[in-house]
Amino acid sequence: MNRHDDDLKCHDALDLLEPYVDGDLETAEAERLRSHLESCRACAAELVLAERIQRELRALPQLDCPPEIVERVRREGAQVLSFRSPARPRGPALPFRIAAAAALLAVALGGGIFFVRSQQQPRQPSAAEVARATQQARYALAYLGRVSRQASLDVRDDVIARRVVLPAAQSVSHSIGISLGEAPEKPAPARDEQAQ
């Protein structure tokens, strides 16, 4: 009946169905499975189910993204500028001047569409959101402080052989020396051979 003896157990055959459907089995293994399926109705029914699942999954639609999502992203991005603008101390920056010039041009050409779109004001974060963000910013700085403290201890203890401190390029090593607060005036000697 079969070209090969059906030496495959149902348990093993069920493990091979999805690779078989995908054509990922070696020829000999696929042949063994086919032999088993010819003589085992239950496993053959499982193969039908496996094939149907793949067919149905592949028939599921690509769901369309509503176009207003991209618009929302633009508005959200615009929020960044509306917060930034008061922080400019000395007159408008170049993009701002270009924008102003473009605005004048737009008015001259009757740029009504720009005006309509500009009415969409970005949402201002609530006080609670700002408070939460403040807590997060403090957390970040505190974490930096903690790491700096730990690093500075290691800088002072660099005589201990197991600890390796590599001072960076001269241009920035001074800065971190200050940032570490208690770091020594002289940078610790580099030990390249232990660093990697």
- Judged by CB under 8 A, the chain residues 171 through 190 that form the site for other proteins are 171-173, 175-176, 178-181
Which residue pairs from 58-63 have beta carbons closer than 8 angstroms and sit at least 24 positions apart in sequence?
A: none
In the 8-state DSSP scheme, what is residue 68? H
Q: Could you say which residues in the range 12-41 bind other proteins, by CB under 8 A?
A: 14-15, 17-19, 21-22, 24
Length of the chain: 196
At position 131, the amino acid (one-letter code) is A
What's the closest the beta carbon of residue 39 comes to other proteins, in angstroms?
Answer: 20
Cβ neighbours for 18, distance < 8 A, ≥ 6 positions apart: 50
In angstroms, what is the minimal distance from the CB of 2 to other proteins?
A: 24
10 binds other proteins (CB under 8 A): no
| Part in contact with other proteins (CB under 8 A); list of ranges 1-9, 29-37, 169-177 | 169-177
**Min. distance of Cβ 55 from other proteins in angstroms?**
9
Instruction: Select the residue interacting with other proteins from 12, 83, 184, 189 (CB under 8 A).
Output: 83
- Residue ranges of alpha helices (H) inside 22-67 are 27-39, 41-59
